[in-house]
């Protein structure tokens, strides 16, 4: 038995189909995603190496390798979830896809964000606007870098689930921000903002699972609205106004984020109308 799922396909036993079972559109977008990642990291690294008198680069993390590793791990994780949870189509995606998101949204991403703050000695207001050179003074693991790798993989796991083109646009814009903040200073402001947004998004899954309960609707409406408002504040009054680096970069990334926030709030109103 085969189940058609948006842009992709799954077999009834939970296994991903072979490459011939995937639509060309999905592969085309994945290829563009990979090429864009290679282009961005290569040329961004090259330009930073020329800035001898400016802010030094972060620790020599092999970003491309680590992003590729998290991508593979995320696909394995999704495959495991396809065995554990139902493949029934639920709100245009397999049921297991919804369950696979919750651990990241509620536990994993908040854990690494809090770890980043707790592992340094500065105040929250100082940490949130930190340079990479300051963050990398700590010995050993840099939680902020791990967070960016993990949220990249968290999004990448959806590539083979099958997504509407609007979600492809959403994920691509998110990837632009994630890859940028591997090099742009004040990454913690993005980390806190994205953590808030994913906490808000978790309430959409809860609402879908418990749609008959009034509390799930109001939890979704309130949490999504507050998370969007909190992220908007961080974008405008913290990152764009007080952030480091070129103002053009801050305005561009801020604009991309505000577009995502508007789309999220619009989707929340759409869910509200389901009641």
Each residue of 104-158: pLDDT tens digit?
A: 999 999 999 999 999 999 999 999 999 998 998 888 889 999 999 999 999 998 8
Q: Would the pTM count as exceeding 0.85? A: no
The mean pLDDT of the chain is 80
pLDDT at 275: 54
Rounded Cα distance between 155 and 37, Å, is 14
Say yes or no to pLDDT of 12 above 70.
no
Residues 6+ apart with CB under 8 A from 126: none
Rounded Cα distance between 87 and 256, Å, is 33
Ranking 19-33, 131-145, 205-219 by mean pLDDT, the lowest is: 19-33
51's tokens: 């800035």
Tell me which residue has tokens 């959409």: 204
Residues 6+ apart with CB under 8 A from 144: 116, 135, 187, 188, 191
Cβ neighbourhood burial of 200 (10 Å; 0-12, 13-18, 19+)? buried
Say yes or no to pLDDT of 34 above 90.
no
Residues 6+ apart with CB under 8 A from 2: 9, 10, 11, 12, 17, 21
Alpha-carbon 4 to chain mean position: 25
For the packed helices 165-181 and 143-156, what is the interaxial angle rounded to 10 degrees?
Answer: 160
Torsion angle (degrees, nearest 10) of CA 32, 35, 37, 38: 180
């Amino acid at each position: 038995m085969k189940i058609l799922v948006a842009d992709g396909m799954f077999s009834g036993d939970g296994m991903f189909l072979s490459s011939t079972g995937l639509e060309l559109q999905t592969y085309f977008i994945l290829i563009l995603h990979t090429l864009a990642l290679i282009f961005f990291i290569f040329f961004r690294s090259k330009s930073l190496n020329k800035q001898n008198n400016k802010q030094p680069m972060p620790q020599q993390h092999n970003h491309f390798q680590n992003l590729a590793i998290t991508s593979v791990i995320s696909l394995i994780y999704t495959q495991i979830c396809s065995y554990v949870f139902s493949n029934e189509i639920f709100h245009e995606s397999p049921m297991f896809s919804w369950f696979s998101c919750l651990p990241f949204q509620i536990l994993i991403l908040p854990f690494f964000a809090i770890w980043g703050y707790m592992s340094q000695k500065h105040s929250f207001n100082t940490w949130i606007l930190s340079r990479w050179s300051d963050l990398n003074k700590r010995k050993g693991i840099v939680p902020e870098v791990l967070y960016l790798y993990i949220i990249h993989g968290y999004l990448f796991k959806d590539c083979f689930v099958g997504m509407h083109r609007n979600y492809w646009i959403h994920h691509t814009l998110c990837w632009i921000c994630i890859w940028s903040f591997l090099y742009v200073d004040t990454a913690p402001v993005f980390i806190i903002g994205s953590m808030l947004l994913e906490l808000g998004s978790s309430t959409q899954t809860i609402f879908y699972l418990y749609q008959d309960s009034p509390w799930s609707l109001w939890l979704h409406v309130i949490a999504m609205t507050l998370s969007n408002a909190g992220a908007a504040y961080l974008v405008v009054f913290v990152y764009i106004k007080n952030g480091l680096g070129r103002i053009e970069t801050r305005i561009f990334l801020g604009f991309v984020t505000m577009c995502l926030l508007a789309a999220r709030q619009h989707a929340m109103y759409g869910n509200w109308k389901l009641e």
